[in-house]
Amino acid sequence: MSKNSGQMQTAPETIGGYKVIRELGRGAMGTVYLAYQDSLGRDLAIKLMANEFVRDEEFVERFRREGKIAARLRHPNIVQVYDFSDRDGLYYIAMEYLGSRTLKCYIHERGRVQVEDAVRLCDQLLAALDHAHSQGITHRDIKPANVMVTDGGDAALTDFSIAHMKSASKLTQTGSVLGTPEYMAPEQFEGKADGRSDLYATGVILYEMLTGFSPFHADTIAEIMKKQLFTAPDPPTHVDFTIPESVSQVVVKSLAKNPEERYQTAAEMRQALRSAMIAAGSTHSVAAPIPSELKAIRMEAPKPQPEVAVKSCEACGKPVNKQRFCPGCGHDTTRPVRAPEPIVIPERRPPVPGPAAVVQTQPPPGPVRLDLRDSGSQVIKPVPTPPPAREQVLLAPDPVPLPSPPPPPMPIAIIPRKGVVHFLEDQGMAILGWASGGCFLFIAPMLKFNNSFTQTLACGGVVGMVFLLPASFALSMFFFFRRAAPMRVAAPFCVAAGLLMALLMVLFHLVQNN
């Protein structure tokens, strides 16, 4: 539900017997709040009707009736409805809270969903539709915004037959067209809808998850209707060749314009998807059933919880009582607050001398000759012992680390291509070229030496050319349908032209000699 659309509505402190924690989303029909039920100690999603619809008695009656119908549906992949009430002039529906992430946000975050995940989510959506159809309920507004995705990655269908009653929309008038144009089946534009219309919308969602875009997206409603009624989208394999062909065929069949050409039941489409994944060689579990323990917890009625002491939020310190989410900062009180990691500044250490050190010591000076007399005699006088010389330690520079050699390249596994088709793609042109060259060699001697032997060789070359001409055309068409490069498609035509010229040259030579 959009947060910017719809009339502004002040958030009440309580709705019925539920304490409002914060707003989850806002739309034209009303607002969805996250609330807390003190009596049972659980979080709920409260959908509050907008004020402009309260005076519409027909709308209120339909809102009440659809709330009762949705409350009858109990399935692991359907959001459960717990309560409907109109206290104090406020009309609301209390539902199971599974988070605020929809399949629309899930697709927007990933762009394209992996094939296994897309098929698994679609399988869960089909399981929910199968249960609803068995109860005689048609959703008529299947779209990514009405499918919730839990933290565990499971899909849950919500908003049963409520969005189509939006009287302010031209496409949701009572007795008129129902649904969202991009996900509506062609028959819904005529005011007709059944379970096969839900399967059509499911196919559109699966197409969008696999390719990343809606097959019927346009700027105006008129263009969307034109595409829905008259244009068949390209198969998913034409958009992304990595999508298995078997899965693409399931999507194409579900998007058939004629309801009789689609899957007739949700169970039939589920089985087709599982068979498609088996044919594609996937080892992932398609159905991905919810564990029996979790299913039992969700299917049984919640039990009252004992009173607990009042506690405060670890993030902001405000009292949260028994609420799971803090009303001040929105922190999940069931999870500990992650403390900021301290910044460690590495200690600066003095340089350590290297292994090699050179010690230089000044040598003591030797004896000095002194002249003490004028007669020229000389006396050697020893010099007093000098103080010990100071040692100087010269440290060798630290060795510079050499860069490590780059890792060896990873070997590329070459998978051999097998089969006749791959053999023709790889070796077809080479075989045609060698055969054509052999035919030319058989014909060439006759052009120089005209005798019985060369004529026999020429006849063999002509017979080979007659067979190679259609083979060249066939190989060219084979490359064309395999979507080869244009030069590769034109190469067999060039060989055929050469063969035809050689045949004409032989015929001209024979006519000239005769």
Residues annotated as catalytic (active site), given as ranges:
141
Closest CA to 259 of 338, 210, 199: 199
Tell me how long the chain is: 514
Residue type, 229: L
Sign of the dihedral through C-alpha 88, 93, 94, 100: negative
| CA dist 176 → 114, 223, 321 (Å) | 37, 19, 48
Q: 125 near 202, Cβ under 8 Å?
A: yes
The residue type at 219: D
Residues 6+ apart with CB under 8 A from 479: 425, 428, 488, 489, 492
d(CA 420, CA 426): 10
Q: Which burial class, exposed, middle or buried, applies to 42 when counting CB atoms under 10 A from its CB (0-12, 13-18, 19+)?
A: middle
Contact call for residues 145 and 138 (beta carbons, < 8 A):
no
Name the 3-class secondary structure at 495: helix
Contact residues for 244 (Cβ-Cβ < 8 A; gap 6+): 115, 237, 276, 277, 279, 280, 282
